[in-house]
Amino acid sequence: MARHQACEAPQPTEPPKAEAAAIPPPPADPSAAGAAPGTQDASDDDMFADDDMFADDGPAGAREGVLAGPKASEPEAIRGKGLADDWDDEEGYYNFRVGEVLDGKYEVYANCGQGVFSTVLRARDTSSPRQADGTFPEYAIKVIRANDVMRKAAEQEVSILNKLKASDPEGKRHCIHLIESFNYRNHVCLVFEALDMNLRETVKKFGRDVGINLRAVRTYAFQLLLGLKLLRTCGVLHADIKPDNILLNKSHTVVKICDLGSAMFSSGGNEITPYLVSRFYRAPEVILGLPYDYAMDMWSVGCVLFELFTGKIAFPGKSNNEMLKLMMDLKGPFPKKMLKRGAFVDKHFADDAHSSVASFFLVETDPVTKQPVRRAIDNPTRTRTIFSELERKAGAVTDRKKLHQLADFLEQIFVLDPDKRLHVNQSFAHPFIKDKPKE
């Protein structure tokens, strides 16, 4: 969840869409990617809700005043020591010091951001030989908050990361690669390969309100599908795929799925909650309280791909109730079989035995009283199409055949019934992924 450092993107190699000033160039073709082919109670705690996903929070990457080089490092005498009563803040986040050495070798030089579960630091491994440019290798270190709940979650994350690593020892299947883990002053620390900006920052910097080019979207899609396939092979549900949790390398040719702090094994017993996954990327089965599996992550990837191309969030609902309305605007009414089994269906729908379609109750705010009111929608219908929204964002040189293929690809991902949603193993045969775009 915490942000990694950003760097400047190379100049585009094809004309930008619409009014975009700059967009990343298309990465190498996928074949070269490394592997073959009701009312929401105000008291409800939606910890994954992001009300302003594009809020301007300053420059991406290491925080100003925290990033420091050798000249700004702390004196040798205090490196790695710190005051025992000042290690953590009141919420359990570690108070690091620039120049501090973790685990006897990782010299901290930057803070890359803070999330719900941890702080992410940048550090140099001073125990390793210097690289050709004279610098020490750099890593990202996720320092988990110091409390029993976070420690238990971190142990689960390490277990999942180690399983992914065992199945992909060279780290080529587009999931973040864990180098090692260790304990430091009562904090679990996870060491990862150092990557660059995340996809949220990419869209914000190079394609806000416009998106990035179709060739790049196709390549990133292929790589994300490889990541999903690895997760499935290892029996893992990520449960929080979103642009913030997908990192790029410095050349912006490779993406990797990261932050498995919410991930879980799919072997059963997982809690049914309507607030799993960040809201804009939350699959309908989660909102309705149905059992969830790998199709949940596929839905999230579809949301990411739509956002990459258009620069817009596919389903920007302010609540779960509004999310369902936006989904039906795109895909029509929910199958009644889904509405018969969901634990939270009665918050949003009223079943009518004499109708083939359940009535949906949209929760709105009364303009006078400012209180929530329910408005019945007896026959939800489609009011938008994927292709028309993609086409509005397409530039004059966009390959229209590939654009239609992307629309069909997303149509198959955005199937409301998870049992009928596009399977990751089927996705590689879809023309959008399989067929190369014209030169």
In three-state form (DSSP H/G/I as H, E/B as E, the rest C), the secondary structure along 144-155 is ECCCHHHHHHHH
Can you tell me the distance from the alpha carbon of 249 to that of 280, in angstroms, rounded to the nearest whole number?
Answer: 25
Question: Which ranges of 243-293 does DSSP label H, i.e. alpha helix?
Answer: 284-288
Taking CA atoms, 252 is separated from 26, 126, 432, in Å, by: 9, 27, 21
The CATH classification of domain 199-434, taken from the options 3.90.1150.10, 3.40.50.300, 3.40.50.720, 1.10.510.10: 1.10.510.10
pLDDT at position 241 is 98
In the three-class reduction of DSSP (H, G, I as helix; E, B as strand; rest coil), residue 323 is classed as helix
Return the axis-axis angle of helices 214-233 and 294-310, rounded to nearest 10°.
170
pLDDT at position 222 is 98
List the pLDDT tens digit at each of the 439 positions of the chain. Answer: 443 433 333 333 333 343 333 344 444 444 444 443 333 333 344 433 443 333 333 334 443 333 333 333 333 433 444 444 578 998 999 999 999 999 999 999 999 888 888 999 999 999 999 999 999 999 999 999 999 999 999 999 999 999 999 999 999 999 999 999 999 999 999 999 999 999 999 888 887 668 899 999 999 999 999 999 999 999 999 999 999 999 999 999 999 999 999 999 998 789 999 999 999 999 999 999 999 999 999 999 999 999 999 999 999 999 999 999 999 999 999 998 999 999 999 999 987 655 667 899 999 998 899 899 999 998 889 999 999 999 999 988 889 999 999 999 999 999 999 999 999 999 999 999 999 887 6
pTM over 0.85: no
Can you tell me the distance from the alpha carbon of 171 to that of 253, in angstroms, rounded to the nearest whole number?
Answer: 15
Are β-strands 359-365 and 349-350 bridged in parallel, bridged antiparallel, or unpaired?
antiparallel
Distance of CA 80 to the CA centre of its chain: 33
Annotated active-site residue in 168, 196, 240, 244: 240
Can you tell me the distance from the alpha carbon of 91 to that of 272, in angstroms, rounded to the nearest whole number?
Answer: 27
- Answer yes or no: are the C-beta atoms of 142 and 245 closer than 8 Å: no
Can you tell me the distance from the alpha carbon of 299 to that of 284, in angstroms, rounded to the nearest whole number?
Answer: 9
Distance of CA 432 to the CA centre of its chain: 22
Task: Write the CB contacts of 52 (distance below 8 Å, at least 6 apart in sequence).
Answer: none
Can you tell me the distance from the alpha carbon of 217 to that of 394, in angstroms, rounded to the nearest whole number?
Answer: 12
Domain spans of the chain? 62-193, 199-434
pLDDT at position 85 is 52
pLDDT at position 63 is 37
Any catalytic annotation for residue 88? no
Q: Based on the number of CB atoms within 10 Å of its own CB, is 47 exposed (0-12), middle (13-18) or buried (19 or more)?
A: exposed
Listing DSSP states for 371-417 in one string gives: -EEEEEESS------HHHHHHHH--TTS-HHHHHHHHHHHHHHT-SS
pLDDT at position 437 is 82
Superfamily of domain covering 62-193: Phosphorylase Kinase; domain 1 (3.30.200.20)
pLDDT at position 1 is 42
**Would you give the DSSP letter of residue 324?**
H
Which pair of structure tokens corresponds to residue 41?
């109670």
Which residue's entry shows tokens 């949220």? 200
Task: Write the CB contacts of 112 (distance below 8 Å, at least 6 apart in sequence).
Answer: 2, 3, 4, 5, 61, 62, 63, 120, 121, 122, 140
- Answer yes or no: are the C-beta atoms of 165 and 116 closer than 8 Å: no
Question: Which ranges of 146-283 does DSSP label H, i.e. alpha helix?
Answer: 148-167, 199-206, 214-233
Phi and psi (nearest 5°) for 102?
A: -95, 140
pLDDT at position 205 is 85
pLDDT at position 15 is 32
| Single-letter amino acid, residue 122 | R
Which pair of structure tokens corresponds to residue 366?
């009364």
Can you tell me the distance from the alpha carbon of 312 to that of 401, in angstroms, rounded to the nearest whole number?
Answer: 22
Can you tell me the distance from the alpha carbon of 406 to that of 412, in angstroms, rounded to the nearest whole number?
Answer: 10
pLDDT at position 395 is 84
pLDDT at position 176 is 97
Can you tell me the distance from the alpha carbon of 270 to that of 349, in angstroms, rounded to the nearest whole number?
Answer: 25
In the three-class reduction of DSSP (H, G, I as helix; E, B as strand; rest coil), residue 111 is classed as strand
pLDDT at position 10 is 33
